[in-house]
Every structure is written in C-alpha cells, then in structure tokens.
C-alpha cells in the first residue's frame, strides 16, 4: 500500500512539473478522441454506478437487466468502462449485437480495470474530458448507487440539465433505499434554504421499476424526434438514427 501511495505521489508531482503546453495537448487529445469515436453514435443511454459493486449484489443484477432491456429496444449503452455497475451495464448491452456497449475508461493507479463486455472502448487521461463524453452523446442518464465518483456524475448531470446546457435529457435514480436519504437532504436543506428551486427536484426520477425507466426513455425518444422535425433537421444522421427506433 505504501509503494502504491508513493507511485501516486510521484505521478502527481510529475504532472505538476510537466510543461503546461504538453498538458494542453493531452487535454485536446482526450476531447478529439472522444468526438471522433463517439460523434456518430445513435440513441444512447449512459449508466453510472459504483465500481465496487460485486456480481452477486442486487444492483449489479438490476443494472445488467436494465441495460439488456434498453439494448433490446435498440439503445446503445455507455458506461465508465470499469468493474461493478459499469461492468453490469456493459454486460447487459453486450447480449445484443445490434447495439454498442461503450466503455469510457479512465487511467487510474487503482480500482479502474476495463471490463470485458464492451464493443467500443476508449481510455481518457482526465476525469473532466471523460465526463463530458459520458453526458454529451446520451439522451438519458441512469444513476445506480455509488460513491464519490457516482455522486459527482449525478450532480454534474443535474447541473447541466438545470442550467439548460443540455436539454431533452432525463435523469433516473435507481435504488430508492439508497437514494431516498439524499433526496430528503436536498428537499429539507437545499430547497428550504433557497439553494435550489422546488421544481428542480423534478429534474430527477427516483424509482426501482426498470420497465418504467425503459418506457420513459422511449417516450423521450419520441419527444426528441418531434423537436428535430419542428426545427427542420429531418435530414440529419442523428434524426435518422432516432427515428429508426420509433415504435
């Protein structure tokens, strides 16, 4: 453990000492790689959750089941590419040849090992560039129980939707027992003290009903198709990929 800690410290010091220009190039490379590989994706759902959830646990099984249901409907599944919930979701999607099972990994000294159930895999140097890719190309975010990283992704998603930096995206929390205390805190502290509006609570849906999540995402698909039609974008590749799943 001490050697691992020393390795992390040395990497941190090396990164600090590296030339700023080189860091900029690495950041640009992360974004170019993501845009190039993911820009042509069709309808996609991103599933977030803990890297530490074991295969025999409830939420691992539920994540795999949900991803399989969505894959059967023609939705690509995107995750952070690691073990736990991410592996479970890629595993469920991997059952269906007609969709992509995408893993966006992160270069970490511990914990993040690529799972074997991806059809498309990218590795990023920076959390922030990876996180952009996880949310940019998806029409829904599903958050399963997780730790600091998962909660960071949840609140990043909420902020993007709240500020309308992304539109037409639905956010689902799967795990009522796990997330209910968090929602109570949000209602009792953030809303009551005026940190957020009461309506902001409606930006996310807490449920354990996987079929409900699938049906809501399918409804969102129809809504996005109507929006694209209304602004004259029926000839775009994205419209065609969405409309191919309609019905």
Q: C-alpha angle with apex 86: 206 to 172, nearest 5 degrees?
A: 15
**The pLDDT of residue 2 is above 80:** no
**How much is the pLDDT for 13?**
61
Average pLDDT over residues 190-207: 96
b/e code 3-36 from CB counts within 10 Å (16+ = b): eeeeeeeeeeeeeeeeeeeeeeeeeeebeebbee
Model confidence band, residue 221 (pLDDT cutoffs 50, 70, 90):
confident
**How much is the pLDDT for 171?**
97
Instruction: Give strand pairing partners of 142.
Output: 47, 172
Average pLDDT over residues 8-19: 59
Model confidence band, residue 229 (pLDDT cutoffs 50, 70, 90):
confident
Q: What number of other Cβ atoms are within 10 A of residue 57's Cβ?
A: 16
3-state secondary structure of 167: coil
Strands 44-48 and 101-106: unpaired
Give the tens place of pLDDT for each residue, 98-135. Answer: 999 999 998 766 656 789 999 999 989 888 899 999 99
Q: Considering only 19-33, 62-76, 198-212, which range has the smallest mean pLDDT? A: 19-33
**How much is the pLDDT for 47?**
98
Place of tokens 């009522």: 176
Give the tens place of pLDDT for each residue, 40-95. Answer: 888 999 999 999 999 999 999 999 999 999 999 999 999 999 999 999 999 999 99
Top-ranked range on mean pLDDT: pick from 151-155, 228-232, 237-241: 151-155
**How much is the pLDDT for 4?**
58
Provide the whole-model pTM.
0.87
Average pLDDT, the chain: 89
**What domains does the chain contain, in order, with CATH numbers?**
42-243 (3.40.50.450)
**How much is the pLDDT for 27?**
84
* Proportion of the chain above pLDDT 70, given as a percent: 89
C-alpha closest to that of 104 among 75, 72, 136, 73: 136
């Amino acid at each position: 453990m001490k050697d691992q800690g020393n390795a992390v410290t040395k990497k941190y010091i090396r990164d600090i000492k590296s030339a700023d220009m080189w860091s900029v190039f690495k950041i640009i490379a992360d974004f170019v790689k993501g845009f190039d590989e993911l820009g042509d994706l069709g309808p996609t759902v991103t599933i977030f959750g803990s890297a530490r959830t074991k295969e025999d646990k409830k939420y691992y099984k539920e994540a795999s089941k949900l991803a399989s249901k969505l894959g059967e409907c023609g939705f690509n599944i995107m995750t952070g590419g690691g073990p736990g919930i991410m592996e479970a979701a890629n595993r469920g999607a991997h059952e269906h040849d007609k969709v992509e099972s995408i893993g966006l990994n992160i270069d970490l000294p511990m914990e993040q090992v690529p799972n074997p159930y991806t059809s498309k895999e990218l590795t990023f140097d920076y959390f922030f560039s990876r996180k952009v890719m996880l949310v940019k190309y998806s029409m829904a975010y599903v958050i399963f129980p997780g730790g600091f990283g998962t909660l960071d992704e949840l609140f990043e998603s909420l902020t993007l939707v709240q500020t309308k930096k992304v539109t037409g995206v639905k956010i689902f929390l799967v795990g009522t027992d796990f997330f209910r205390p968090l929602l109570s805190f949000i209602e009792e502290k953030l809303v009551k003290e005026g940190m957020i509006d009461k309506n902001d609570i409606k930006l996310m849906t807490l449920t354990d009903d996987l079929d409900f999540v699938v049906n809501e995402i399918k409804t969102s698909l129809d809504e996005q198709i109507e929006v694209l039609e209304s602004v004259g974008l029926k000839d775009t590749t994205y419209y065609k990929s969405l409309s191919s799943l309609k019905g």
